[in-house]
A and B are shown apart, each in its own frame.
Chain A
Amino acid sequence: MNNVIGLNPKPELSSQAFEQLLDLLHHVYGYDFSGYSKASLLRRIYKFMETHEAKDGKQLIQLLAGDTSVFQLFLETITVNVTEMFRDPGFYKSIRENVLPILATYPQINIWHAGCSTGEEVFSLCILLHEAGLLHRTRIYATDINASNLEKARTGVLPMTHMREYTLNYLQSGCTGDFSDYYTALYDHVLVHKEIRDRVVFLQHNLVTDRSFNEFQLILCRNVMIYFNKQLQNKVLKLFYESLSSLGFIGLGMKESLLFSEYRSKYTVIDGSVKIFRKKN
């Protein structure tokens, strides 16, 4: 390797140092990242190393082993908490058209939104259910690994910055109401109305280590498993399979597939273009 041109060479982490780091995170801090996608985990570790001027694994491990507050910053950097309302409007349109009419036949609807981050997609689903007249008999369990995400989600407060984009997404998702009826603007923030949120329970849950806690007619887990390797994806898909009622639905991110998993044959494709599947009887 020659670093002749780069004035600030990028940090490097050897495979050995990477393993040492995973070991430290697991045994000292109790977080098991061994089933995570190496490429995206490394990318965020490098980002942390650049900000904290750690040039190699040795310096990074010294930083982390010595200071719990540095570890908290590290954890925030390496877990992704990006989300938006009505992300991929076509997905919500398909849920409205293909899934809600069937859910409507149940007296009580249980939904699990796994990896809900700060709640934006949960509130989007609540609005769909509200417009379909189903919200009052639905219970949504929204879970995330990160407690501070859940705290934010529980407040129902979102930054105003993205509301314009969210409104456009809402309009494209085939919704029938007026988006602005669902929130109140407060200076640079908005508050999602309580009646939209009050069927949601936000709970901390770790997909890697925790078990199922109920039976659901619909599970949403969008853009969470992309951070896992194939083995861990299969483990989580097993958890979802066991948590779905017979003929229950699962909705994934637009480029997440059951195709490379052991569960491919156990589901019917409801809408392949937006990744909605239904558990076979």
Chain B
Amino acid sequence: MPKYDIIIIGGSAGSIPVCISLLKALNNNNDIPVVLIIHRMRNVVSQLDMLLTREVGSVKITEPEDKQSITKGKIYLAPQNYHLLFEEDHSFSLDYSDPIHYSRPSIDVSFESAGRTYGHRVLAILLSGANSDGAEGLSYLTDIGASCIVQDPSSAQYPTMPSSAIALDKKIRIMNEEEMTTFLQEL
């Protein structure tokens, strides 16, 4: 049985290349759903799902629709301009309330919701970014015993996001890109 029920990767500016290597590292994972929360512009056509699918190569990355079931082995990308939440029956719910840290989707919102639903069986990873979204959510996940990893700020294109998480939680696990990919390959 896998150690985690869900893997959530949050990132913003500078996170997409790292995200692609992590997804490639997860290549053989057929058991755990993966959810990406990546900040994007709103009201601007984005084809990030297609770009990621092309770059990762092996699996189709899709934006879930409201109340869609979360399926093992699938990779989901949070849709633009909605917060993404997790229901007890393991389906997605979308939420259009105010942005958090100027962000919708907000990483904090999804991290906390995942923790409320999946408890300690969440693996959360926070990557490069230019604001502090994700830090609070990660600290909540640590509190409830979930596994959390932060990209080493010195290896991040924009260190603010991982640094904010480390500032809130000094004991959080820090890894550079290579360490993260090795970790994921060994899941």
Contact among A42, A90, A169, A255 with B66 in the assembled complex (CB-CB below 8 Å)? A255
A37 in the interface (beta carbon within 8 A): yes
Cα A9 to Cα B143 in complex, Å, equals 8
Contact among A5, A165, A259 with B169 in the assembled complex (CB-CB below 8 Å)? A5
Interface residues in A, total, Cβ within 8 A: 40
Cα A42 to Cα B88 in complex, Å, equals 11
A225 nearest in chain B by CB position = B66
Contact among B43, B63, B112, B169 with A43 in the assembled complex (CB-CB below 8 Å)? B112
Q: Which residues of A contact B53 (CB under 8 A)?
A: none
B94 nearest in chain A by CB position = A226
Query: Which of B29-37, B79-87, B126-134 contacts the other chain?
Result: B79-87
Whether A2 pairs with B143 at a CB distance below 8 angstroms is yes
Cα A227 to Cα B171 in complex, Å, equals 36
B158 in the interface (beta carbon within 8 A): no
**Shortest CB distance B33–A (Å):** 16
Whether B109 pairs with A255 at a CB distance below 8 angstroms is no
Known: A2-B145, A230-B67, A255-B66. A37 touches B96 (CB 8 A): no
Whether A43 pairs with B65 at a CB distance below 8 angstroms is no
Cα A255 to Cα B80 in complex, Å, equals 9
Cα A80 to Cα B109 in complex, Å, equals 15
Whether B139 pairs with A5 at a CB distance below 8 angstroms is yes
Cα A223 to Cα B97 in complex, Å, equals 10
Whether B93 pairs with A39 at a CB distance below 8 angstroms is yes
Q: Which residues of A contact B139 (CB under 8 A)?
A: 5-6
Known: A1-B145, A5-B171. A256 touches B85 (CB 8 A): no
Cα A227 to Cα B142 in complex, Å, equals 28
Whether B65 pairs with A259 at a CB distance below 8 angstroms is yes
Known: A10-B112, A39-B117, A226-B95. A5 touches B87 (CB 8 A): no
B4 in the interface (beta carbon within 8 A): no
**Shortest CB distance A280–B (Å):** 21
**Shortest CB distance B116–A (Å):** 7
Residues 61-102 of chain A, each 1 if its beta carbon lies under 8 Å from chain B, else 0: 000000000000000000010100001111000000000000
Whether B43 pairs with A172 at a CB distance below 8 angstroms is yes
Contact among A1, A82, A223 with B144 in the assembled complex (CB-CB below 8 Å)? A1
Whether B87 pairs with A39 at a CB distance below 8 angstroms is yes
A1-B144, A255-B94 given. 18 additional CB < 8 A pairs?
A: A1-B143, A5-B139, A5-B169, A10-B112, A39-B88, A39-B95, A43-B113, A80-B95, A89-B43, A168-B43, A225-B66, A226-B94, A227-B95, A229-B87, A230-B67, A233-B67, A253-B94, A254-B81
27 contacts between A and B (CB under 8 A): A1-B145, A5-B143, A5-B171, A6-B139, A9-B143, A37-B67, A37-B87, A37-B93, A39-B93, A39-B117, A40-B83, A40-B95, A40-B97, A43-B85, A80-B95, A80-B96, A87-B43, A169-B43, A223-B82, A229-B67, A229-B87, A230-B67, A253-B94, A254-B81, A255-B66, A256-B94, A257-B65
What is the interface of chain A, defined by CB distance below 8 A to chain B? 1-6, 9-10, 37-40, 42-44, 46, 80, 82, 87-90, 165, 168-169, 172, 223, 225-227, 229-230, 233, 253-257, 259-260
